[in-house]
Structure 1
Amino acid sequence: MREIVMCSTCRFSAGEKAGPDGRTGGETLIAHMREAIADRRLALPLATQACLWNCKRHCSVVLRDDERFTYFTGDHEPTRAQAEAILDWFFLHGESETGEVSFRHWPDRMRGHFIARIPPVKP
């Protein structure tokens, strides 16, 4: 199973918990992600989680896969452009047998956001 897990309680920025509309960065990025998924007409599981324990690197997202590497990311901007980049990378990940995406194929907005690569659980 593959899915994107997004923190709903992440700060809007390093200095602000909420954005101008009162939503957290996580809530804002989640809304942008839902719009991007709908606009692409995708049937993609999107899960939300309150606090992923990565508060120093706000707007955390886990790109989860039970057969390939899973990736933990952070420091995302709560923008539509960032949501699009996350989706683009996630689809490149899904095209790979192991979940490894060549750095030269990464969307520019995904560079510098990776925190950990977690191997799949083997039976």
Structure 2
Amino acid sequence: MRSIVMCTTCRFTPEEKMGPDGRTGGETLIAHMREALAARGLATQIETQACLWNCKQHCSAILRDDQRFSYVTGRNQPTREQADAILDWFAAHGETETGEVPFRQWPDLMRGHFIARIPPARP
């Protein structure tokens, strides 16, 4: 199973919890992710979680896969461009056997955003 887990409580900026529309950075990025998925006609599951304990590196998202490496990301901007980059990287991830995407294939907006790589759970 593959999914993207996104933090709902991440700050909008280092200085501001809420954006101009009253949503957190996490809520804003989640909305952009859902719009990007709909525009692509994808059914990727977006799960939400209040606080992923990565507050100093907001906005956070976990790119989760039970068969391949999963990844914790942070420092994602609450923008549509960032949402598209996350989805582009996640698509490349799904095309690999192990979940290891060659760096040259990473979207520019995903470089410098990875915090941890987590191996799949084995029985």
In 1, Cα distance between the equivalents of 2:15 and 2:100? Answer: 33
Q: CA deviation at 1:13?
A: 1.0
In 2, Cα distance between the equivalents of 1:56 and 1:78? Answer: 15
Letter in 2 for 1:27: E
TM-score (norm 2): 0.99
Q: Give the gaps of 5 or more residues in structure 1.
A: none
Letter in 1 for 2:119: P
What does residue 115 of structure 2 align with? 115
Give the secondary-structure state (helix, strand or coil) at the position aligned to 1:56.
helix
What does residue 59 of structure 2 align with? 59
Letter in 1 for 2:59: C
In 1, Cα distance between the equivalents of 2:54 and 2:107? Answer: 23
Q: Which runs of 4 or more aligned residues in structure 1 lie more than 6 Å from their structure 2 counterparts after TM superposition? A: none
In 2, Cα distance between the equivalents of 1:78 and 1:36? Answer: 13
Range with bigger deviation, 13-22 or 85-94: 13-22
RMSD across aligned C-alpha pairs, in angstroms? 0.5
Letter in 2 for 1:66: D
What does residue 98 of structure 1 align with? 98
Q: Does 2:36 match 1:45?
A: no
In 1, Cα distance between the equivalents of 2:97 and 2:13? Answer: 35
In 2, Cα distance between the equivalents of 1:95 and 1:77? Answer: 25
Letter in 2 for 1:45: Q
Q: CA deviation at 1:70?
A: 0.4
Letter in 1 for 2:47: A
Q: CA deviation at 1:60?
A: 0.1
**C-alpha distance after superposition, 1:67-91 (max 9, x if no partner):** 1000000010000000000000000
In 2, Cα distance between the equivalents of 1:114 and 1:14? Answer: 18
Give the secondary-structure state (helix, strand or coil) at the position aligned to 1:76.
coil
Q: What is the number of residues matched between the two proteins?
A: 123
Q: CA deviation at 1:5?
A: 0.5
In 1, Cα distance between the equivalents of 2:70 and 2:38? Answer: 24
What does residue 12 of structure 2 align with? 12
In 1, Cα distance between the equivalents of 2:13 and 2:103? Answer: 26
